Amino acid sequence: MKKYLIPLALCFVMAWSACNKADKEIAQATLSTTADNQPIGTAKFYSLADGKIKMDLEINYPARADSNVAVHFHEHGDCGNMGENTHGHWNPTNEMHGKWGSAAYHSGDIGNIKLDAKGHGSISVSTDRWSVKEGDVKNIVGRGIIVHGGTDDYTTQPTGNSGPRVGCGVIEAIK
């Protein structure tokens, strides 16, 4: 009986630790207004046990209270020139612009976030469409995150008619 007790206990400990393994934060971005560089939010990226990446994005933007803002990943991580230096939407697979999870959308189509009466809103997205591996076409590190001043219509190509770039951040790896 004793010879089975130690291996059984070892299996239990290994299974328990695997189930309680915390998601590992692998990247982050601080979002600031494009007009005056004031902080308006954060995006945190986590590596999940199933190989996916999860993004938790939070916006606190009182000037945009009681409205929707569209959020997209853009090609370049340069927030200069009122966010215009990020260039176009990041679309590594050359798909049509659309709503996240619909039949047609690209990897940078995050979508609309409803801001409450205080300008607070959040979204959480988990996907296998992103990576933080250098050289991978799905790598999000170094990409810009743009907060648009309008609502994405999910139809107009290639941008969703989302309005001006009112916020910007750069996705940076956590070492």
CATH topology of domain 22-173: Immunoglobulin-like (2.60.40)
Backbone angles phi, psi at 40, to 5 degrees: -135, 0
pLDDT at 5: 44
Backbone angles phi, psi at 85, to 5 degrees: -70, -5
Find the mean pLDDT for residues 159-171. Answer: 95
Check if the beta carbon of residue 165 is closer than 8 Å to that of residue 87. no
pLDDT in tens, 102-113: 988 999 999 999
Instruction: State the pLDDT confidence band at 9, using cuts at 50, 70 and 90.
Output: very low
**Rounded to two decimals, what is the model's pTM?**
0.86
pLDDT in tens, 130-156: 999 999 999 999 999 999 999 999 999
Residue closest to 69 by CA, chosen among 92, 40, 93: 40
Looking at the predicted structure, is the pLDDT value of residue 161 above 60? yes
Q: How far apart are CA 143 and CA 47, in angstroms?
A: 17
Residues 50/130/39/163 CA torsion (nearest 10 deg): -130
Sequence ranges of the domains in the chain = 22-173
The CA-to-CA distance between both ends of the chain, in Å, stands at 46
